[in-house]
Structure 1
Amino acid sequence: MQMIFLKKTKILQILFSLLVLSSCGNDNKTKTTATPTVEDTLPKMKPLGPEKKISQAYKNSVIGRINHFYYKNWPNNSMNGSFLVARNGQIIFEKYNGYANKNEGTKITAETSVQIASVSKVLTATAVLKLVNAGKIDLDQKVNTILKTFPYEDCTIRMLLSHRTGMRNYAYFTDHDKSVWDRHNQLTNKDILDLLATKNIGLESKTGTRFSYCNTNYAMLALIIEKITGLSYKEAMSEMIFKPLGMTHTYVFDDDKDRKKIVPSYKGSGVEIGFDYLDNVYGDKNIFSTVRDLLKFDRARQSPDFLKPELLKQVYTGYSNERKGTKNYGLGIRMINWETGQNYYFHNGWWHGNTSSYITLVKEHVTIIALSNKMTRNTYAVRKLAPIFGDYPFNFKDEE
């Protein structure tokens, strides 16, 4: 009987040892297998990587014409902002001039982040397109399947991106009628959605029937980014675009944290422009950046990893040509399409005294960017540089 008891005891000891070892193994697995965070599952931009080096001879062949344009457009070095021209991601020409803050006497440098206004739409569209590319949303998905209270049931994500929703601009329908909005209160993206859902804000045109550039579209796209990622727009843009591309001087304006730190904007007369009730809305504007950071962003959009070919083709398809003409709008990008087959892609911006122009000459691998925090239309004249690099048949004679 004693032998039997000893054998049973031995068996129990072995089983206990195996159980302990198994438990330790599970503990090790628990320790080494980290739970993926929201940030880990986000689709992210990737840098393009090294591009073909441009020669000094090539730089010399174009720099004189760029220099001539610069001093003609901004005589006596009068630009108040930053200006950059690059090819293959390599800077050919850059200038920084004027005051970041007149009261403090600080000058604009390569590291001065300024409000890029509606050029922000290109970045917002890029984040949305990355979510589409990853299968997290669909271009033709109804907006109200994501934003449940959104009232226009025929509206799709594609229509938001291409300005074909027929919605009214939030800056207009909140401007005069206090029963809609009290301008003493800061307006937010969520407020805009709530107003659309509860105040019977009429459409300018039937959804999907015509192009009408409207900031409300991109305010809604920012809310979609938040809903799908589970992050704030500020966090999502940082994780998906700014951090992966090393855009260290780019951020989304946060009124509570940044109001006293940002570079202010000025009227053409030099008078500083204050804040108003619309300054909390993002997606359509409110990204601050530099020309060098935007160059990184532009080159990443040329990467084969940016979007699947079929989706990329839709980005550069025109959606606004009800009447025959050269001007058009794609998915978050403006364009001019000539009958010669040449295409010119760009986006301009204006908010308060900030003006911006982003140009990407895709065939020639050229990037042209101008940013100013003092009101001037000269920022938009940088398109005159396009014919230096390719066959862009602009007629500038009427503008001289």
Structure 2
Amino acid sequence: MNWLRTRVLLSLLVSGLVLSSCKDKDPAANLADSYRKNNPFETQMPEITASYKASKKQKVEAFFNKNWGDRMNGSFLVAKNGQIIYENYQGYSSVEKKLGITATTPIHIASMTKVLTAAVVLRLIDAGKLDLGQDVSTVLSPFPYPNITIQDLLDHRSGLPNYAYFCDEKGVWDHSKTLTNQDVLNLMNEHHFPQQFPSGRRFAYCNTNYAMLALVIEKITGMAYPEAMKKLLFEPLKMSNTFVFDIKDKDNVSQTYKGNMRLRFDHLDGTYGDKNVYSTPRDLLKFDMATYSPQWLSPELSKKAYQGYSYEHKGTRNYGLGIRMYEWPTGQKLFYHNGWWHGNTSSYIKLKQDTVTIIAISNKYTKSTYQAWKLAPAFGDYPVKVDKADGEE
């Protein structure tokens, strides 16, 4: 089985990503062709029974009505074994244009984007194009902070300064201009902003980590991040309503609101990797199901992705490689990632041992999105309780 898996990975990634050897054809097209021919991520799971679906749907619908009802402006989906139990789409992607939200309406998923960025990085690692322990400076050069590894970026233990904060410092960035990922790196090289702490010392959630991972993807693949995500993730998984936002299209995407006020785009809306993917629950379900495929990641790397790395303080919350988690003393684990950007809030819950997917996305600011994880006890033995983590991204 191992030799077969290695051959598949090599054919899918190595041949497509060693760009210097693909001069006779566009590398992105060559890689996409390879994916389409091999189609390695099909995941067959048992069909849920009609009685199971009916009983769970009743519980989910009651939960939805209690937490959102007709107040939701967004998308909500719950599935078991990749089969949808309940979904609901309400409100407007553009109030001004009276464009309703449907199952195919992409909405900004905010920091849930990190899960997708991490997925591409992990697959590059699995293909031998990167290493978890590799120093970032060997990929991005110049890079002003020594001894920061790819894993430090993935699990938020790098100590990098937050670009949203240092761009607010006087004279650092003109807010009339849209900031790019390369601008973030250039500013760090120019100003040498201090690290929050030496790398590996502790956990500190920071968007700069994933802005740098987007640049790593670009360097390794030779493609711009939006194109790399499209060719390496969205197209292979047939996520046809998912894309990376381009500020030039700001009038044509789902808008974002707080109360009755539409929020404006700003100078931070040009960076990606940490945010700026638009998607739908159905597309994200396709992604979630692909992660169960034996061809997705090697068992060793998959295990590393879903384990915690920050135990400086006692508690149930932790962070893996692009995924948050609850780890209870009783052994249960709940994986998730929330997001918040402008008026957009999102939540992705993965009940891995029960193969259940819960996704909530809203483009009108609400903390109700973050309550979706409380559905977990309807599907398994999860000691869920309310605490301050409900509002974290």
Equivalent residues in 2 for 1:240-279, closer than 5 Å: 240-256=232-248, 258-267=249-258, 269-279=259-269
Aligned length: 363
Q: Does 1:81 align with 2:71?
A: no
- The amino acid across from 1:174 in the alignment is C
Contact 1:218 1:283 in 2 (8 A): yes
Please tell me whether the aligned partners of residues 120 and 284 of structure 1 are also in contact (alpha carbons under 8 angstroms): yes
Counterpart in the other structure of 1:384: 374
CA distance, structure 2, for counterparts of residue 201 and residue 176 of structure 1:
11
2:347 paired residue number: 357
**Which shifted more, 350-359 or 53-62?**
53-62
Aligned Cα root-mean-square deviation (Å): 1.7
Give distance in 2, aligned partners of 1:340 and 1:36: 53
The correspondence of residues 1-400 of structure 1 with structure 2, limited to 5 A, is 35=24, 37-39=26-28, 40-41=30-31, 46-75=40-69, 77-178=70-171, 180-256=172-248, 258-267=249-258, 269-396=259-386
Whole-angstrom distance in 2 between the partners of 1:309 and 1:228:
23
Return the alpha-carbon distance in structure 2 between the equivalents of residues 223 and 34 of structure 1: 23
Structure 2 Cα separation of the partners of residues 120 and 336 of structure 1:
19
- In the alignment, the residues of structure 1 paired with residue 311 and residue 114 of structure 2 have an alpha-carbon distance, to the nearest angstrom, of 20
TM norm structure 2: 0.90
Alignment TM-score, normalising by the size of structure 1: 0.88
Q: Deviations over 1:203-232 (max 9, x none)?
A: 111111010000000000000000000000
Q: Which AA in structure 1 matches 2:234?
A: F
Q: Letter of the aligned partner of 1:338 in structure 2?
A: W
* Alpha-carbon contact 1:46-1:245 (below 8 Å) kept: no
Ranges in structure 2 where 5+ consecutive residues have no aligned partner: 1-21
Structure 1: distance between partners of 2:382 and 2:210: 29
* Conserved 8 A contact 2:43-2:292: no
CA contact (8 A) 2:324 2:337 kept: yes
Structure 1 residue 34 displacement after superposition: 9.4
Once the two structures are superposed, residues 73-117 of structure 1 have per-residue CA deviations (whole angstroms, 9 ceiling, x without a partner) of 013x11100000000100000000011110111110001001000
For residues 137 and 41 of structure 1, the distance between their equivalents in structure 2, rounded to whole angstroms, comes to 18
Distance in structure 2 (CA, Å) of the matches to 1:218 and 1:248:
23
Distance 1:161 1:397 in 2: 25
Note if contact 1:321-1:327 (Cα within 8 Å) is conserved in structure 2.
no
Q: Is the 8 Å Cα contact of residues 326 and 335 (structure 2) preserved in structure 1?
A: yes
**DSSP-derived class of the 1:363 partner:** helix
Q: State the secondary structure of the residue aligned to 2:337.
A: strand
* Aligned mates of 1:170, 1:85 — CA distance in 2: 35
User: In the alignment, which residue of structure 1 is the partner of 2:4?
Assistant: none
The alpha-carbon distance between structure 1 residues 374 and 156, as it changes in their structure 2 partners (threshold 3 A), is same
SS of 2:84's equivalent in the other structure is strand
- SS across alignment from 1:91: strand
CA distance in 2: counterparts of 1:125 and 1:338, whole angstroms: 24
CA change 1:378–1:35 in 2 (3 A) is same
Corresponding residue of 2:11: none
Partners of 2:41 and 2:296 within 8 A in 1 = no
Unaligned runs of 5+ in 1: 1-32
Q: Counterpart of 2:52 in structure 1: which amino acid?
A: Y
3-state SS of paired residue (2:269): coil
User: Counterparts of 2:251 and 2:71 in 1: how far apart (Å)?
Assistant: 26
